[in-house]
Structure 1
Amino acid sequence: MKNTYLTSHFPLISILLFSTAFSLYAERLIIYKLHDLGVYQGMTEVFSDSGIKLTLLFLLLLFFFMVFAALKLIADTMFELSLLFFSKDQEGKELTKIRSGSWLYLVGSVISLLLFQNFILMIAILALVTFGYFIFFVYKVSSSLSPIGLIGMIFFHVFFWFTFALTVSYAMIKLYNSFIASLPV
């Protein structure tokens, strides 16, 4: 009999690898911008070159880890809420069926780490893996759903994530516009 907890550490490893990939890209971008602004040379007088890079990498890794961990927490909550609302499963057997889907994120995170120099490819891999996991989730739990329940669950997820992305985008645009408006002319 296969141990159900065999893949329980895959989400943590995936979050760490995705965070590392995005952090490496962001670190290179920030250091490049600091060089362009002429600030980096002054920073090396206070801090060593490797010290700046390691500190920046650590802070970016921490930031991206928190973002991906929060997104995973929200996604897990949405998956379980959708099962509560639409599934006939009362025992939680559907949750054990979808655990093996963490392989998708693990493979995607390794590929993302290998391609960390291309931001568009990293985003594309993350989006592709997320879409693939959603398809995997729907396939695995479809046996406990009625046709109306399946449509409702898919609509529930699409509506939630669309609203979430729209709200975050609106808040970022609003913050950016207020920042630009506050700059002296």
Structure 2
Amino acid sequence: MKNTYLTGYMPLLAILLFSLSLAMYGQALVVEVLQKANLYSGMLDFFTKTEMNLVVIGGLMLVFTMLFSTLKLLANTANELALLFFSKDTEGELLKKARFGAVIFFIGGLVSLISFSSAAGILIIFLVTAMAYIGYFVYKLSPHITTPQMIGIIVFEALFWIFFGLLLALIIMKLYNGILASLPL
């Protein structure tokens, strides 16, 4: 690729596409909850049904965009820390070689729109896309680093995401237990 900035907008588009898929799925759930709580009919006094759906999709898109942006920031941090610790590249050439991998997430985002009615489908598409990106990242780095360095990068990134997942699970369990403890049962 001649121009390294050609795919600079792809991560944002991928985030927006995955967010839209999840927001379209979540919109049906939110409307169902609002109907069960008898709030939906009151809200229809202020909004039309179409406007209500668009407001819910917009709000959910905002939440999912923040979530995916956080994951993107963490992924960039993990990649750059792994390269800092395990490669001899001081100019950032290895990152430039793997930059085209953003197209993989863009394509995954487009495919996720097909499965907007299934949260499991969207999650599977996201995980397959992430695995494809990892494969691409390893493929692009492999000619430029040694096998022990590659193993170090893979182990570092795996431990990074395991630690982050466990930390997130702990926070969610603490929050859940705190809410349950505060309920008068």
Deviates more, 1:21-30 or 1:31-40: 31-40
User: Unpaired segments of 5 or more residues in structure 1?
Assistant: none
Aligned to 1:38: 38
Answer whether contact 1:88 1:144 (CA < 8 A) is retained.
Answer: no
**In structure 2, C-alpha distance between the alignment counterparts of 1:76 and 1:84, rounded to whole Å:** 12
The alignment's TM-score, normalised by the length of structure 1, stands at 0.94
CA distance in 2, matches of 1:118, 1:124: 10
Matched residue, 1:57: 57
- Give the distance between the partners of 2:103 and 2:70, measured in 1 at CA: 19
Corresponding residue pairs, total:
185
TM-aligned CA deviation for residue 43 of structure 1: 2.2
Equivalent position SS for 2:44: helix
Superposed CA offset, 1:4-32 (max 9, x none) = 21111111111111111111111111111
> Match of 1:77?
77
Q: 1:178 is matched with which residue?
A: 178
Q: Which amino acid in the other structure matches residue 23 of structure 2?
A: S
Deviation per CA, 1:125-169: give whole Å up to 9, x if none: 101111111111111112232222111111100001001011111
**How much has 1:106 moved relative to structure 2?**
0.9
**Percent of residue pairs bearing the same amino acid type:** 40
Gaps of 5+ in 2: none
- For 1:48, the aligned partner's letter is T
Does the 8 Å contact 1:11/1:102 carry over to 2?
yes
Comparing 34-43 and 7-16, the one that deviates more:
34-43
4+ runs deviating over 4 angstroms: none
Cα-Cα RMSD: 1.4
